Structures are given as C-alpha cells and as structure tokens.
Amino acid sequence: MDNKTEKLLRGRLLSFKSSPTGPNDTSAYTYEEDGALLIRDGKIIANGIYAEVLTAASPTAQEVDHRPHLLLPGLIDTHIHFPQAQVIASWADQLLDWLNDYTFPAEQKFADKVHGARIAKGFYDALLANGTTTAVAYCSSHPNSVDAYFEEAEHRGMLMVGGKTMMDRNAPDALCDTAQSSYDESKALLQKWHGRGRTHYAVTPRFAITSTPAQLEAAGALLKEHPGCHLQTHINENHNEIALTRELYPEAADYLGIYEDFGLLGPKTLLGHCIHMNERELGVMKDTGSVAVFCPTSNLFLGSGLFDKARLEGAGIRTAIATDVGGGTNYSMLRTLDEGYKVLQLQRQRRHPLETFYWATKGNADALSLSDRIGTLEAGTDADVIVLDAGATQPMALRMETVETLSEELFLLQTLGDDRSVVETYVAGEPRKGA
C-alpha cells in the first residue's frame, strides 16, 4: 500500500494525556469504546468515535477492524543494548563480572558489519513482535554497529535513538577507542544520522569506569556542540561499580558529580539505573532535569537493587522505564511493567495499571522530550500504534472472563501479557509485526 492511501483502524482506543493520579483519574486519559484512528502519510490525522472519524475518511480509505482489541500508542523502551542480543540469558555474577565475562566478548563481534547487520534484523524483529516502536539503544564502540542499527531502523521506518558506545579503558583492547577517536567517530555518526528521517543520535559514554576524564570531556563537548542530541550513560547500579568509580574519580563529589563536572547533565540526559543515589545527587538530578531510567528485569537479574521510584519522584526527578536487554531479561515492555510492579511492591510502592501504561507510552515519550511525535494517539503525531489482546493465551482468556473494567484488563495484560498479546504493531501507519 502506498503512503498516500488512508488507513482507518477501528478498535478500543486508549491514549494518555498525563500521569493518572489514581484509579479514578479519568481526566488523565481518553478511552473510546468504539473508536477509530485515521492515518495518512504515516501520521494520525483524526481520532475519536468511529462513526465520526469515518466521515473524515476518504472513500478509498482502507479499513482494518481490530475490535474487540485495544489500540494504544506503540510502547517505548528508553534503555536497551543492541549488541547484547546474544548476551541476554547469560548465567553470570553481578554487573562487573557479567560485563567482563559475557558482554565485552559479545560486543567485540560488532567490529564486523555483517554480524551487526544480521543481529540488527533479529533485534528489530524482537522489538516489533513485542509492540515496541521506539527504543533508545547503546550500540557497540564500533561505528559499523551504529550504521547497522540505524540502517535497519530506517528500513523499517522507526523512530529510534542510539549511539556509539564511547569506552577508552578498563575493557578489552578490541573494544577500546580513545578520547579523540571516540569524539571524531561519534561526531561523524551524529552528523550522518541525527535527524535523518526519524533517527536521533545519543552521545553514549558507557559509564565512568570505562571512560577516562579526557573521554568524558569529549562527550561533554559533543553534547555542547549538538544540544539537540540525547546523552545516555549508566550510574549507581551496583555497589562494586560505585566503589571502583569513586577510586577512579576521587576528586568528584560523588558518582553523579563526575557527569556533572563534565557537563553531561540536562533534560535530554538519560541515566540508567539510579538505584543507590545520595541526597546531593537527587538535588542535582532535579535541578538539571536529568531522567532516571528504571530497568527492573535487569536490576533483578544482576541483583543490583531496588529502584526507589517514590524517593526519586518525591525529589522532583523525571523517571522512565526500560528493558536494559541484555542485562534485562525480556524485550517485552509488558513483562518489564510486571517486574517493575513487583520491585515497587517490595517497597510498598505498587502502581496502578493506568499509571504504568501511561509510563510505557506518554511517560517515556515525555522523558525523551519526544511526546510531540510519539507516545499518544493524538492527531498530528506519528502513527506508531499497537493492537493488544488481553485474552491472547489460554490462561489470559480464562482470567479475561471475569474482567469488568479497563483497569483490570490493563493489569491482566501487564501481569500475563507478552509478545503473544500484541496482535499488530503499526510503524508510521504500516503493519510491521512479523514484517
């Protein structure tokens, strides 16, 4: 179908406007029982009650009836590692051993563009199977891997964020760049990919342990020269990591102080993990508008600790949620919401499903400063849409018999759902699940 043909998707529409304050906060979202989306040129041009949207459609519009399923914005994964598609499910000790024993060896293979291109196909297949239409990824330190990552994104028409991992010490030689080469290569990649179609570049120093001060300075320079780009890195994930980091940067006030000193913080900065934060760090996070990214399956798998959402948000810090594959154990944002629920439940902070589905859509889009394009079903935004079936498996269908409310249905999707619950994934209006 060419792009000019209109598409009319019919189903039960759910889209969030803001974070629901509780189960009864109907002002935070729009829900249309018999709704429709009208799509043209990859964008949503109308939404609402089916009968009304139908009147706006051209006579040649192609109608797809997804009733009785839910139509939601595509899910957004704000932290994932593309070269770890063959690291996921590795039996390892905690973070630093896992990196040395499995992750660094696997990432070395990405020097080969053919390998990167093949893994990219599998990686994007997995995202789309799970209803993820945008992800923010670390590539390897090889420029080839960044090209492989964005070429596949472009091929599938996806809004993807990513960047070359900068790392110039404490890793095998085959993965290490230098401060200068990481600057030069990142800059060239950024100039090639940032804003080309739907792709966005993220300056990506891995973490302070694998970057010399000169390299973090280079990352700060890149960000200053290209303020439209994101910056992503890791922080305060694991106690041994923190101890080694403090030895390497004895002058810094604390872990966050390192990134602060090199000008890496700001509203487009995504900080993975943020588990073991001190009070000063919370204040700096808030003041700079930096985002704390919760990676529940990874935090459990690597035994890293419990993300304290209430403490972070109480301090006024923006938060996002993500898979962190391959430290994370599932590509599915539904599985991720479920594990996140359990991490918060352990701390008496369980969240309502309306809030968690907001988080994985509009919330993550806001965290990326991209909610004018993705994360909702609003007219004028990109037509990244998923179709969810809360009765997709036998146990789900059985439980669905007793579900009476939208909230119960969402909680069922979160608790038992996975790729089997994703009936279709539309990217810029095109069906892409399995395509």
Binding site for ligand GUN (CB under 6 A): 81, 95, 99, 103, 206-207, 234, 237, 298, 324, 327
Nearer to ligand GUN, 50 or 82 (CB): 82
Q: Minimum distance from CB of 201 to ligand GUN (Å)?
A: 19
Nearer to ligand GUN, 324 or 384 (CB): 324
Q: Minimum distance from CB of 422 to ligand GUN (Å)?
A: 25
Q: Minimum distance from CB of 146 to ligand GUN (Å)?
A: 16
- Residue 66, binding choice from Zn ion, ligand GUN, none, Cβ under 5 to 8 Å by partner class: none
- Residue 237, binding choice from Zn ion, ligand GUN, none, Cβ under 5 to 8 Å by partner class: ligand GUN
Closest by Cα among 429, 332, 342, 331 to 388 = 332
Run of H or E residues at 349: none
Nearer to Zn ion, 78 or 376 (CB): 78
Nearer to ligand GUN, 238 or 381 (CB): 238
Q: Minimum distance from CB of 131 to ligand GUN (Å)?
A: 23
Q: Minimum distance from CB of 324 to ligand GUN (Å)?
A: 5
- CA–CA distance, 331 with 130 (Å, rounded to integer): 7
Query: Two tokens at 427?
Result: 């990217």
Nearer to ligand GUN, 332 or 381 (CB): 332
- CA–CA distance, 90 with 35 (Å, rounded to integer): 44
Residue of this chain nearest to ligand GUN (CB atom): 327
If 0-12 CB within 10 Å is exposed, 13-18 middle and 19+ buried, where does residue 94 land?
Answer: middle
Contacts with Zn ion in 50-89 (CB under 5 A)? Answer: none
- ∠ CA(378), CA(22), CA(342), 5° rounding? 100
Q: Minimum distance from CB of 324 to Zn ion (Å)?
A: 5
- CA–CA distance, 29 with 6 (Å, rounded to integer): 26
229-266 burial, b for 16+ CB within 10 Å, e for fewer?
A: bbbbbbbbbbeebbeebeebbeebebbbbbbbbbebbe
Figure out which of the listed residues 116, 272, 296, 353 binds Zn ion, where binding follows CB under 5 A: 272
Closest by Cα among 363, 360, 383 to 373 = 383
Binding mask 323-362 for Zn ion (x = CB under 5 A): -x--------------------------------------
Nearer to ligand GUN, 304 or 414 (CB): 304
- Residue 103, binding choice from ligand GUN, Zn ion, none, Cβ under 5 to 8 Å by partner class: ligand GUN
- Residue 211, binding choice from ligand GUN, Zn ion, none, Cβ under 5 to 8 Å by partner class: none
Q: Minimum distance from CB of 194 to Zn ion (Å)?
A: 21
* Contact residues for 210 (Cβ-Cβ < 8 A; gap 6+): 167, 168, 169, 170, 171
Q: Alpha helices, DSSP H only, in 167-212?
A: 179-193
Nearer to Zn ion, 20 or 272 (CB): 272
Please provide the size of the chain in residues.
435
Query: Two tokens at 290?
Result: 């930096």
Nearer to ligand GUN, 110 or 207 (CB): 207
Q: Minimum distance from CB of 233 to ligand GUN (Å)?
A: 8
Q: What are phi and psi of 374, to 5 degrees?
A: -135, 170
- Residue 206, binding choice from ligand GUN, Zn ion, none, Cβ under 5 to 8 Å by partner class: ligand GUN
Nearer to ligand GUN, 91 or 224 (CB): 91
DSSP conformation class of 266? S
Q: Is residue 366 a contact residue for Zn ion (CB under 5 A)?
A: no
**Three-class DSSP labels, 43-109:** EEEEEEEHHHHHHHCCCCCEEEEEEEEEEEECEEEEEEEHHHCCCCCCCCCCHHHHHHHHHHHHHHH
- CA–CA distance, 116 with 147 (Å, rounded to integer): 9
Q: Minimum distance from CB of 209 to ligand GUN (Å)?
A: 7
Run of H or E residues at 408: helix 406-416
Nearer to ligand GUN, 206 or 432 (CB): 206
- Residue 362, binding choice from Zn ion, ligand GUN, none, Cβ under 5 to 8 Å by partner class: none
Q: Minimum distance from CB of 103 to Zn ion (Å)?
A: 10
Contact 75, 131 (CB under 8 A): yes
Q: Which residues here bind Zn ion, judged by CB under 5 A?
A: 272, 324
